[in-house]
Amino acid sequence: MSDHRVVIIGAGFGGIGASIKLAEQGIEHVILEKLDDVGGTWLANQYPGCRCDVPSHLYSFSFALNPEWSDSYSLQPEIWRYLKKVAVDHGVVERVRFGCKVDAARWDDEAKQWRLETSAGSMTTDVLIVAHGFLSEPSIPHFEGIETFAGQVMHSAEWDPSYDVTGKRVGVIGTGASAVQIVPEIHKQATSLSVFQRTAAWILPHRGRTIRPWEHELYRRVPAVQRAVRGFHYWSSEFLAVPALMKPAGGKLLKKLAVKHLETQVPDPELRAKLIPSFKPGCKRLTPSNEYLPAIASPMTTLVTSGIDRMVPEGIVTADGVTHQLDVIILATGFRVTDNTFPELVIGRDGRTMRQTWDEDGLGAYNGTTFAGFPNFFMLAGPNTGIGHTSLVYMIEAQLPYVLDALRLMKERGIASIDVRPDVQASYNELLQRKLSPTVWNTGGCKSWYLDKNGFNTTIWPDYTFKFARRLERFDVESYYQELTPTTERKLAAIS
Ligand code: N01
């Protein structure tokens, strides 16, 4: 049994960032990572064409800018290499236990500690930081007969990089952000491509470009210039996107842009009609691409809009009775977000799992980070920290000072446990839901992973992201129940 001050779960952006900040403060900790390397989502997602649709200069840690980005929107291998380098340069890798999966985390109210059961044995920790990522559990829909399909089935987030689609008849199910990146790449290699579209997606023009050697040189020599470019990306997306997404009438310009893009790229009016979504742009994540629509319009691609009925050894049978002959099926079907299994593993102060509390009391966190009844527990990229218009790394970095300040206060004041007050959490969530109710995410007419099974938006932060960062600059200990360590209690008793 090992004993720690802090255990971090996950070695992606969140876990690496937290570890760097804890180490700066000399706080002992270990990171548990189920995979065999760092990188989180950027290690797991290796599908062809995988890249980030947030500008490279913004999609990185503010304290570790990378002057070497080769493209203004980086591909997955480069983002992974960046994360690995940051982890190595800051000594994070030595603190990670790879291949270590957490099976259970139970709060021990007597010891004021978390007891973890992991694939590497039991351990205890005073504080648990969960950075498991909300897009880490693939959603694999149940298709009748899937087990009978004679070819390969792969989820986008479980891509086997050794698999070669050259010369294959490929089916892609889904038209979300992952599919929009996969389809153009697969189109270059496959013999035929069938894209199974349940709901069309709004496709915007992509503004990506190669970063020139003189720019690299400039960023290396004058980091302030790269910081200014980063600032430009940050502030322009805040002030252009947030008002458009927050107001019911917003998004008209986005729609105009997307329709023009579609008209330019898809000459066939019949096909175009199938590609126009019925919901407002922004209701689901906006997907920029200059290659997706031409790949769909290509003579070797079939856009299948009839629903999937079942899978058979030869391929997919759709509701219109057609059998689509396939060698490989790619499930670009997204992730289990509001229904992922992690909360079932975490047991809080009253013996209920986090899933039970969410089912019974409603899903929600306080400041996207802490949960009533789960003391000394912090989640990075937790509920309602999601954003579509800017970098999630910004949100994660905004949470770190909050966690660090909590740990500092606990040490200084001899506090053994902090637990957010349920009334504080409830009013925070009421405010969030009020703000979310008129926005395009709630009223745009789509069904997205932003909403839970009860229609609550437990995913999106409905405001400017700098307001989130401002909220979390300081740990508001007054919003929390606190229990002192026995030593502190004895000292206080001796004084009084
Ligand atoms: O998943 P999605 P994703 N039968 O949930 C369809 C992030 N990301 O992996 O819309 C048929 O968006 C489903 O259809 P419908 C980003 O945050 C970021 O693409 O439900 N179809 C939909 O078309 C993103 O939002 C980057 O009708 C079925 C698709 O599968 C998140 O990941 C890049 C089906 C799922 O779309 C998830 O994106 C990529 C069924 N039974 C991803 N079930 C960046 O660049 C589902 N579908 C940062």
Are residues 133 and 150 located together in one domain of the fold?
A: no
Are residues 453 and 437 located together in one domain of the fold?
A: yes
pLDDT recorded at residue 353: 97
Mean pLDDT of 441-465: 92
Are residues 178 and 286 located together in one domain of the fold?
A: yes
User: Considering 300, 331, 362, which residue would you say is the last residue of a domain?
Assistant: 331
Which residue type sits at 53?
D
Q: Is 173 in the pocket of ligand 1 (CB under 6 A)?
A: yes
pLDDT tens digit sequence for 254-292: 899 999 999 999 999 999 999 999 999 999 999 999 999
Query: Does the pLDDT value for residue 430 go beyond 80?
Result: yes
pLDDT recorded at residue 252: 86
Q: Is 452 in the pocket of ligand 1 (CB under 6 A)?
A: no
Phi, psi of 144 (to 5 degrees): -55, 135
pLDDT recorded at residue 454: 83
Query: Measured in angstroms, how far is the CA atom of residue 176 from the centroid of ligand 1?
Result: 4
Alpha-carbon distance of 41 to 158, in angstroms, equals 10
Percent residues over pLDDT 90 in the chain: 89
Could you tell me the end-to-end alpha-carbon distance of the chain, in angstroms, rounded to an integer?
38
pLDDT tens digit sequence for 220-260: 999 999 999 999 999 999 988 888 888 766 688 889 999 99
Query: Does the pLDDT value for residue 382 go beyond 80?
Result: yes
Mean pLDDT of 160-179: 95
- Global pTM? 0.96
Are residues 34 and 71 located together in one domain of the fold?
A: yes
Both tokens of 421, joined, read 């007050």
Are residues 309 and 419 located together in one domain of the fold?
A: no
User: Considering 295, 312, 331, which residue would you say is the last residue of a domain?
Assistant: 331
Are residues 11 and 99 located together in one domain of the fold?
A: yes
Percent residues over pLDDT 70 in the chain: 99
CATH number of the domain within which 358 lies: 3.50.50.60
Are residues 381 and 480 located together in one domain of the fold?
A: yes
Number of domains in the chain: 2
Query: Does the pLDDT value for residue 450 go beyond 70?
Result: yes
pLDDT tier, 363 (very low <50, low <70, confident <90, very high otherwise) = confident
Are residues 183 and 311 located together in one domain of the fold?
A: yes
Residue of 52, 155, 311, 333 best suited for mutating to test ligand 1, as the one with most atoms within 8 Å of CB = 333
Residue with the nearest Cα to atom 13 of ligand 1?
Answer: 174
Are residues 393 and 410 located together in one domain of the fold?
A: yes
Within the chain, how many helices (H) and strands (E) appear? Answer: 15, 20
Contact 441, 245 (CB under 8 A): yes
User: Considering 299, 316, 331, which residue would you say is the last residue of a domain?
Assistant: 331
Q: Which domain holds residue 9?
A: 2-137+336-495
Partnered with residue 155 across adjacent β-strands are 331
Q: Is 449 in the pocket of ligand 1 (CB under 6 A)?
A: yes
pLDDT recorded at residue 265: 98
Query: Does the pLDDT value for residue 155 go beyond 90?
Result: yes
pLDDT recorded at residue 134: 87
Radius of gyration of the chain (CA): 24
pLDDT tier, 61 (very low <50, low <70, confident <90, very high otherwise) = very high
